[in-house]
Amino acid sequence: MEYKSLTTPAATGGTVTEIDGYRIHAFTSSGTFTVNKSMNVEYLVVAGGGGGLGSTGGGGGAGGMLEGTNYPVTPQAYAITVGIGGIGGYSPTNGENSVFDTITAIGGGSGLNGTGGSGGGGRYSLIPGGTGTPGQGNNGGNGRTGAGGQNSGNGYNAGGGGGKNVVGGNAISSKSGDGGAGKVSSITGTAVTYAGGGGGGADAYRLCDPGIGGVGGGGNGGYFSAGTAGTANTGGGGGGGSNSATITWVGGAGGSGIVIIRYLLSEDLTPANITATNMTITPSISPCIEGSCTVTVDVTWTNTGETSGSFTPSIKIDTIPIVVLPPLTPVSVGPSLTASQQFIITGMTTGTHTICPDPN
């Protein structure tokens, strides 16, 4: 007998796509990555970006970004945490961490020179940028104290948030710092840049320019406006908010993070393959008297696949299914394991009969 189950994937969870011989699990919010076999995977883990500061504030730092290959996983459910972006405003917050097993990407620092995966930018008055986490991101840029009057172009400008690949830009007399650039990953089969820092908010009162968000989802700094939010699921930092003579604007929120895991499609489990590997009939030659005959049939089933399979075993006599004792119930056979079933056949007619597992 042969029994085939549906193909069992090596893992489930997240949004699943297949490309170039890989299966990719993308988590844009927290969830569970359930593994069905031991294997090695590649991963990208990006934390939430930091929120930008208002009123000529620093750009938010990018969320920490970690990548790796040949990471071992075993059959179990792995909790996936995708960090949300920090709140932008006058009291901005850091982004949240993203987590896959032992891998933790640190949330980006706020635009109030916050420390994080990448550091947030420093606000005006020579406030230094926040510190980034080694291996995950870079420091934020420094703020600057201005020295000119209204519309002078010599402003109190803010630093840009750090990015995965580049430090945040320092403020200069006429412009707030740009956000640091992020890093490209092709784990999805398409090149995407993640973890850019937010640009610093402009001193619009003195007609200074805002910082531009770093490539990789960083939000732009505001100019007579609020800072732009970091792009969702990139870990980009939020842009800093602007100011004028009478109005101040809030910073933008940080972009949420992402977790992506991939492995080769060849890691999928072989379906259950259950066959009858042994059959014993007792007695092998039975004297049937007046058409009444009882025999016992013992069958061993073996699963040569990698997944468990369930089936209801039976046998046929002369290709016709028969009712046997005891009542048959489904049997589950694990990978590389066997199961045994005994059939008792009564009332056989005289003559020569063929007894086979069903189906043969």
**Predicted confidence pLDDT, tens digits, the chain (360 residues):** 344 445 678 999 999 999 999 999 999 999 999 999 999 999 999 999 999 999 999 999 999 999 999 999 999 999 999 999 999 999 999 999 999 999 999 999 999 999 999 999 999 888 999 999 999 999 999 999 887 888 889 999 999 999 999 999 999 999 999 999 999 999 999 999 999 999 999 999 999 999 999 999 999 999 999 999 999 999 999 999 999 989 999 999 999 999 999 999 999 887 788 888 888 888 766 555 555 677 788 888 888 877 777 888 777 777 665 556 566 678 888 887 888 888 887 766 666 777 777 654
Same domain, 73 and 94: yes
Spell out the long-range contacts of 113-117 with Cβ–Cβ below 8 A and sequence spacing 24 or more.
Answer: 113/58, 113/140, 113/143, 113/159, 114/50, 114/60, 114/61, 114/140, 116/47, 116/50, 116/61, 116/63, 116/64, 117/47, 117/61, 117/62, 117/63, 117/64, 117/65, 117/195, 117/235
Examine residue 181 and state whether it is found in any structural domain, yes or no. Answer: yes
Per-residue pLDDT, 279: 84
Same domain, 264 and 205: yes
Same domain, 155 and 297: no
Per-residue pLDDT, 287: 57
Q: Tokens 């990953």 map to which residue? A: 185
Same domain, 129 and 59: yes
Per-residue pLDDT, 3: 40
Examine residue 170 and state whether it is found in any structural domain, yes or no. Answer: yes
Examine residue 23 and state whether it is found in any structural domain, yes or no. Answer: yes
Percent helix, strand, coil in the chain, to 5, is 0, 30, 65
Examine residue 1 and state whether it is found in any structural domain, yes or no. Answer: no
Examine residue 316 and state whether it is found in any structural domain, yes or no. Answer: yes
Same domain, 283 and 200: no
For residue 324, the number of C-alpha atoms closer than 13 Å in the C-beta half-sphere is: 24
Same domain, 261 and 290: no
For residue 44, the number of C-alpha atoms closer than 13 Å in the C-beta half-sphere is: 27
Examine residue 3 and state whether it is found in any structural domain, yes or no. Answer: no
- Provide the b/e sequence for 129-151 (b: ≥16 CB within 10 Å): bbbbbeebbbbbbbbbebebeee
Same domain, 242 and 278: no
Q: Which of 238, 268, 298 is the last residue of a domain?
A: 268
Collapsing DSSP to helix, strand or coil, 204 comes out as helix
Same domain, 327 and 183: no
Examine residue 260 and state whether it is found in any structural domain, yes or no. Answer: yes
Same domain, 103 and 231: yes
The gap from C-alpha 90 to its chain's centroid, in whole angstroms, comes to: 32
Q: What is the value of pTM for the model shown?
A: 0.82
Per-residue pLDDT, 327: 63
- Do 163 and 179 form a contact (C-beta atoms < 8 A)? yes
Same domain, 224 and 140: yes
Same domain, 103 and 172: yes
Per-residue pLDDT, 294: 75
| Domain boundaries, position 335 | 274-358
How many structural domains compose the chain? 2
Residue 317: give its domain's CATH number. Answer: 2.60.40
Q: Which of 268, 290, 317 is the last residue of a domain?
A: 268
Examine residue 171 and state whether it is found in any structural domain, yes or no. Answer: yes
Sheet holding 22-27, edge to edge: 15-19, 22-27, 258-264, 39-46, 65-73
Per-residue pLDDT, 360: 42
Q: Which of 268, 295, 324 is the last residue of a domain?
A: 268
Copy the structure tokens of residue 139: 């420091």
Same domain, 284 and 253: no
The residue among 42, 195, 31 whose CA lies nearest residue 109 is: 195
